[in-house]
A and B are shown apart, each in its own frame.
Chain A
């Protein structure tokens, strides 16, 4: 079986688009949770191929977008104090309260862009006289590798490695969105890669409690339209179940080895989400026996706190209450060139996706 080309097949994708058109009778709002899915919908031009009745709402699943402002300021504080800060690429242009990591780098900070947190452990090993911090952002998908970096550092006996943790979890975010009085969401496309790690057993009670279909969905064009079709099928029939469109990757129980690594290093705690606020039990924090690897504790920066930019409606966009182009600053004061908020930076961010897709091609 081919895992990519088959899922980029024009004829099959068209077939499912036609099927959606055929069965849809009422307008439905479907939220794709994951930023990778938003990216896939935009990149392949799927939004304009869907029938008008099917409206996609872009969810909060862009790690860059939900990382709170104060975490960026904390990373900058470290950079300005001679710490080597390592980060994934798309984090570096996100504006903090005064500047971005990229600007702090230009001013002399030692910022390294990495693909793997394990690289950061190697940097710590090579620079024993310097402190090295990995900016551990992301959902359940990046948590195993970040946890593993801590275990590696422990194994190597490194005292100069720590992580700035901003890990968030998908199910509590879904619940927070559904609890919002302005929530207009009828069904979810579950985040395929998050479920590849975590499985999807925890979604059953959610679907039941909120009477909402949840389709675990992949990222290729055919995955996305198939996921949307499965959601519309349930909505039209008035049922609400958890279904797995991405079965070639996702098992109900997830990846046991990855979950073990996460559970060894992290425990669940409250987390602040950019634009949304604090959600209880919505993220990971380091367990007590790994607290020496916690950068916030190590450098005493836990108390840095800054208000969000009041011109930016990222919170409403992330909760699906407003579309990016309904923001008064969209494309004016806020562009990918000069982003006011994180969703305009990352290619997975809803605002950047809309901006690149251009307003004249978007369904309002």
Chain B
């Protein structure tokens, strides 16, 4: 056996003991993969330096299945937190990484996840600088849970808060919605439907940086509509700012196959989760330029303006339907439940 190879085919309780087995897992997989001057200190934490304001965001990833069309829980854990930091108007720099693994997870699967994390971190330009690995007994977890915390430097031109959202501001989305949630749905057991829908999980931090470099504080707000979808995020914003939001059904970017899958399952794409989508709310006078800039980027090529902030119906989101009717769009209550017929 090669000395650099891991000796076990599955993760067992020993890998979380803090002893020799943990050390072997860290040395042969974690440190070897992430290999940077911070993590190589092999200390309990890392010391980093920032010039100015810092944005911090944390998120836990508990998705099932852990491998799905278009990605796995590893890259999701990086992209999700990287994007959350970016949504604060910051440039993500560092991530912490903590695993809670259920004993019995195949080592090969764990390696794949760790490699995906490394790849996603490289793509986003962030370093994994500290972490933790725990193993729980079989039945006390769901294969693997990952927590990441992201640290980013706030962009010098950024001023992102809900207070800055004004009447007349335009709401722009960077691409097709509902892809991630429907990809997960189609991979979930018990749902006998097949599709080629792939998750949209990706990092959007460079596109966000471009927008801030170019338009500065005329960009008033960013938000990524992950769980609860676009509807829940807009609904929360409308309540927070006590202003109305008007959105237009005709303008919503939805890929045909996703729309069809939603129809079949009786789900509203507005409430379905996204992972590579963000919403930006911008000064009306730059809206067209913003869309034009975003469309030049691979991650914004389907960007479109979907609505605006209005002084009508304060704190409510109103959807203007294709046929000219209106309806209130409220936040998701619990999980979105498929209808009977």
Contacts and interface: CB of A to CB of B under 8 A. Distances in A.
Contacts of A142: 340-341
Interface string B319-341: 11111111111100110011111
Nearest to B339: A90
A287 B180 CA distance: 44
Nearest to A194: B341
Interface string A324-343: 00000000000011000000
Interface string A196-224: 00000000000000000000000001000
Q: How large is the interface on A (under 10, 10 to 19, 20 to 34, 35 or more residues)?
A: 35 or more
Contacts of A63: 340-341
A43 B338 CA distance: 16
A336 B325 CA distance: 23
Nearest to A118: B192
B341 A49 contact: no
B313 interface: yes
B334 A361 contact: no
A226 interface: no
Interface string A77-102: 00000000000111111000000001
Contact of A45 (B190, B266, B327, B338): B327
Interface in B151-189: none
A48 B325 contact: yes
Nearest to B265: A115
A113 B335 CA distance: 12
A13 B330 CA distance: 26
Nearest to A220: B323
B328 to A, nearest CB: 4
Interface stretch (A133-141, A229-237, A254-262, A267-275): A133-141
Contacts of B265: 115
B190 A113 contact: yes
Contact of B326 (A45, A64, A346, A347): A45
B259 to A, nearest CB: 10
A336 B323 contact: no
Contacts of A90: 337-340
16 contacts: A8-B322, A8-B323, A10-B322, A13-B323, A45-B320, A45-B325, A47-B325, A49-B323, A49-B325, A93-B337, A116-B192, A142-B340, A193-B341, A336-B330, A347-B339, A358-B328
Interface of A: 4, 8, 10, 13-14, 36, 39, 42-49, 63-64, 88-93, 102, 112-116, 118-119, 137-139, 141-142, 193, 221, 336-337, 346-348, 355-358, 360-361
